[in-house]
Amino acid sequence: MAEVRNYCGQCSGAWALAGDFNTVIDPNERLGANTRQADMDEFLDCIATCGVTDIAATGAYYTWTNKQEPLTRVFSRLDRFMVNQEWMNQFPNMMAHFHLEGLFDHCPCTVGNCEIGGGRRASFKYYNMWGKADDFIPTVTEQWNKNYPGHKMFAVIKELKALKPALKALHMSCYPDIKESQAAADLKKLSVARDSFLS
């Protein structure tokens, strides 16, 4: 990882760090074999030092397999496409796709604009009114109290990811007509502006 840190220290502007890193960052990224916490901690420290993060990805989750028989087969997420914040700012729609491994033990990866394939996924938005709902605190507490194994930082990330659908469900149950209400309010403003202009 020292070589990676040195490489990152020489980079400026928008840049990416991709390839086979030969380790995982969470126990859930390996099936069929144990993980070493020391290796994961070193990799996580390297990622933090370099200031990079995985871009959105589709396709195969486990990007490497030892190609052995089913009872001794190991799957790991060893390959990543990570970028710095400048890259995210300049190329916000880029997405990685990991294809099936085929004849090789690693999955090939292609990177492209996700808008070409049918549009960008809508970003998650937090509404302040959720905090006033009776079920808000119980909903957040239920998701936050789940026990996720692995490094603390990635446990927090998983908790936040689990919280998104829970908050969306809360939104639908407490404020199902919010979009219609907003549309009606906007229409009323337009009507008032039109009448004011015509008078």
The DSSP string of 27-50 is GGGEESS---HHHHHHHHHHHHHH
- Whether 2 is in a domain gets the answer yes
Look at 43-52, 141-150, 186-195 and tell me which has the smallest mean pLDDT.
Answer: 186-195
- Whether 176 is in a domain gets the answer yes
Are 4 and 44 in the same domain? Answer: yes
What pLDDT does 149 receive? 66
Are 51 and 7 in the same domain? Answer: yes
Are 138 and 86 in the same domain? Answer: no
- Whether 71 is in a domain gets the answer yes
- Whether 19 is in a domain gets the answer yes
Residue pair 81/96 in contact (Cβ under 8 Å)? The answer is yes
- Whether 198 is in a domain gets the answer no
What pLDDT does 40 receive? 92
Average pLDDT over residues 137-160: 75
Please report, for residues 53, 58, 116, 141, the alpha-carbon distance to residue 108 in angstroms, rounded to integers and kept in the order given: 19, 12, 20, 40
User: Which of 66, 95, 116 is at the close of a domain?
Assistant: 116
Where does the pLDDT of residue 74 fall: very low under 50, low under 70, confident under 90, or very high at 90 and above? very high
- Whether 67 is in a domain gets the answer yes
Q: How many domains does the chain have?
A: 2
CATH number at residue 91: 3.60.10.10
Are 38 and 70 in the same domain? Answer: yes
Interacting residues of 11 by C-beta distance below 8 A, sequence separation 6+:
84
What pLDDT does 119 receive? 47
Average pLDDT over residues 47-71: 89
What pLDDT does 183 receive? 47
Are 135 and 98 in the same domain? Answer: no
* Token representation of residue 169: 């469900």
Are 69 and 31 in the same domain? Answer: yes
* pLDDT at residue 187 greater than cutoff 60: no
Are 92 and 151 in the same domain? Answer: no
Are 58 and 100 in the same domain? Answer: yes
- Whether 199 is in a domain gets the answer no
78 DSSP assignment: -
Average pLDDT over all residues of the chain: 80
Are 145 and 174 in the same domain? Answer: yes
* pLDDT at residue 24 greater than cutoff 60: yes
pLDDT tens digits for range 95-140: 999 998 888 899 999 998 876 544 445 566 777 778 888 888 988 8
What pLDDT does 192 receive? 57
Are 106 and 130 in the same domain? Answer: no
Are 106 and 134 in the same domain? Answer: no
* Structural domain for 48, as ranges: 1-116
Are 9 and 75 in the same domain? Answer: yes
